[in-house]
Chain A
C-alpha cells in the first residue's frame, strides 16, 4: 500500500533514484575512481575540471636576464586563462580526426618569469597531443573494487577509466598526463576520486548513525511509554537534557572529551557514536508518545491479558505498530547525520587527512583566496546538497504515503 502510493509521488522517486546512484557510486568508488584515494602529484596541483574546459597559455612578455656565465638570456612571461568547454575532454585524436572515444590533452608545465626574476610554474594543456581515455584499464597496484563502508571488500586492479599514455613522447619531461574530470585539489589529487572515496564515509555515517539512534530510541522510548511513572519521568528528563543543549555545541563538546589521535576506523566509529548519542533523544521522545497511546489499545491489552510479558508486548505488539512512522522519521533525519559528519570534518574534528570525506574536502575552501582561484573545490558541497535533497524528497514522499489523509489533501478537521 505504502509502496503503491510512494510510486505515484514523482519527487520521492527522483529522490530514491538519486540516492541509488550516489550509493552505487560510493560502493563501487574504488572501481570508478581513476586513481587511488591518496595519489598526490606535485605537478597537477589545483588544476581545473577537465569536464568543463581547460587552461590555455599565452606568452605576454619577455624578461631579459643573465645566466651564470653572464650571457644574456630571454625568459618568457606567461599568462594562464581558463577556457570553458575547450581544452578539456574532447572527441578527436592527436591528428585532429573525430573519434567517438573521449580524449584529453596532457598537461604541460610552463615556467613563467616576472620582472623581479621570480618564477612560477603554470600548468596548461598541450593542444598538440591528445591522449585517449580507455575503459576497464588494469593498473599495477591493487585496490578495493567494491566495499560497503569498508566491509566486504572485493580486491582488484581494474579501473573504470584510465589514460592511455603510450602516445606520450618519452623524451618530454614537461608533460604530465592526468585524467581530472572534476579538477584536482591543493595536493594535486583527483577531486572526483576523492569525492567517491569521501562518499563512502559521508553517506554511510548517515545510515549507520540513524540505525543506532533509532534502536536506542525504540528501546528507551518503548520502555518509557510502556511502563510510565518514575521510569518515564527520569528517561524523559534525560531526553530533555540532551535536547536542551544546541546540537552542534553538544557534538563539539562530546568530541572534545575524546583523544585526538585515533585510527581512521576509530575516528569513523567516534563520529557515528557521537551523532547517535546526540540524535536518539528526539526519536525516543516521539516513540514514547506513540507507545503511550498504543499501550491502551485493545490488542495490547489483549496481549497482556493472555499473559504476554512486558518485553513481548513491547517488542511484538507495540513497536511494530510504530514502524511506518519510524521509517519516515528515519529517512527525514538521515540528513542531520550527514550534515553532522560534514560539520565535524569541516571543523577539523572528524575525518582527517589522508582519508577523505565530503566535509573534509570542503575544508580546503575555507580560505577565501584558495576558493577564489580554485572554485571547483566547492564541488563536494554539491554532492552533500544532492544527498540531503534526495533524502528530503524521499522522506517527504514516504510521509505522504504513510499518512493517507495528507495524501488525499484532507485536513484532520475536514474529516471529523
Chain B
C-alpha cells in the first residue's frame, strides 16, 4: 500500500509537466492573443502594449548591437536593416535610407527574419517574439518557484484569483455531494429492500431521469423555477445587502444561494449513487452472512442495518473522490447558467478573453484536483475493504 501510494505520487509530477506542456502548446497554436486586438487599436500606444507583452514574457527586448547583427532582410517588398549608433535605440534603414521610427513601425510591427519573428514599436524598440518551447520553459521555471504568472485581464497573480474561485467551486461540489449522498443512498437502500416493488420501479425511473437530464437543462429549469416562485435567488453567491447582514444572516444568505445550484449539480450524482447503493445492497442481502444472521434470529432491521447496509455502503463512501473529480467538470455549465463565481466560469471567461496564464493555471489546478481525488478514492477503497489489494 505504501509503495502504491509512493508510486502514484511519483507519477504526478511528470503528468503535470506533460499536461502543462500540452496546454501551453495548445494555447500558443491559437491564432492571435490577448494583445492582438490592442495592437490593432489606433487609440492605444503601441509602445505601451508591447511593453506589457514584454513584462508578460511574450517578447524579449533586443539591444541595437543584436539588431545590427540581423543584417539585411526583406519585408513588405523593401529591404530593411538596423544600425547601432551607440544610442539606446537603433537607426532603421529602408532600402539604405534612414526612416523615421514611427513610419518604420507601420511595416515592421510584425516581421520575420529566418524563422524568428520580431515586433517593432513606434519608438524603434525592437522585440523578439518568444517561441512556444522557450516560453514554456521560462514559465515552467517560474512556476517551480511558485510564480504562475499574472492574469492579462485582471492584472493580478493567477494564483490568488484561482484560489478564490476554487473555494467557491469546492463549496458547491461538496454541497452537491451532501445532497447526492443524503438522498441517493437511502433511496437506493430502500429500493433494494423491496426489489421489483412499485417503489423500486419508481426509483429506477427517477435514476434514469437524473442520469439523463443535461446539467444545462436542469440549471435553466432551476432558474425558471427561481424566477417564477421567487423562493430562491436567481444567481450569484450572495445578496446585494450581504455586508449589512449579521453573522447568522450571512450564513443563511450563503446557504440560500447555494441550495439551487447544489441540487442541480447533485441530481446526476444522486442517481448514480442510488443505482450503486441498490446494486450493492441487493448483493449484500444475498450473502451467506445475512442468511446466517437471519437464522440466528437477528431482527429484520438489525440484519438490514448492521449486516447488509454497512457492507453495501462502504464502497460508496470511498467513491466521493471520483465524484469530486467529475463534479469539477460538471459544475462548469451550472456555474455559467446560475452565475456562480467558480473555477469553471473562470476558465470559460479566461478562454473567451484569451487570458492564457489564467487558462493554463486553471487547467493545471483542476487536473491536480482530479488526480488527487482519484488517488484518495483508491486509497480509501483499500483502507475500507481489506479484499482490495493495491499493487
Contact = CB atoms under 8 A, between A and B. Distances in A.
A362 B216 contact: yes
A372 B224 contact: yes
A245 B220 contact: no
Interface string B29-66: 11100000000000000000000000000000000000
State the main secondary structure of chain B at its contact with A.
helix
A246 B235 contact: no
Given A246-B325, A256-B26, A388-B212, A362 B217 contact: yes
B193 to A, nearest CB: 16
Interface size class of B (residues with CB under 8 A): 35 or more
A382 B332 contact: no
A339 B214 contact: yes
Interface string B278-318: 00001100110000000000000000000000000000000
B166 interface: no
Interface stretch (B135-143, B175-183, B360-368): B360-368
B23 A253 contact: yes
A381 B227 contact: no
A43 interface: no
Contact of A366 (B27, B31, B336): B336
A241 B217 contact: no
B126 interface: no
Interface in B363-386: 363, 366-367, 370-371
A129 B333 CA distance: 45
B363 A241 contact: no
Interface string A245-256: 111111011111
B316 to A, nearest CB: 17
A254 B22 CA distance: 10
A385 interface: yes
State the main secondary structure of chain A at its contact with B.
helix
Contacts of B232: none
A253 B359 contact: yes
Interface size class of A (residues with CB under 8 A): 35 or more
Contacts of A385: 212-214, 217
A216 interface: no
Contact of A259 (B31, B212, B336, B348): B31
Contact of B344 (A248, A346, A368): A248
22 contacts: A244-B371, A246-B370, A249-B362, A253-B26, A254-B26, A257-B27, A259-B30, A342-B216, A343-B333, A347-B333, A365-B220, A366-B220, A366-B336, A368-B223, A368-B234, A368-B235, A371-B220, A371-B223, A371-B224, A378-B217, A385-B217, A413-B283
In the A-B complex, the 6 residue pairs with the smallest Cβ-Cβ separation, listed nearest first, are: A381-B217, A246-B329, A389-B212, A257-B26, A388-B212, A372-B227
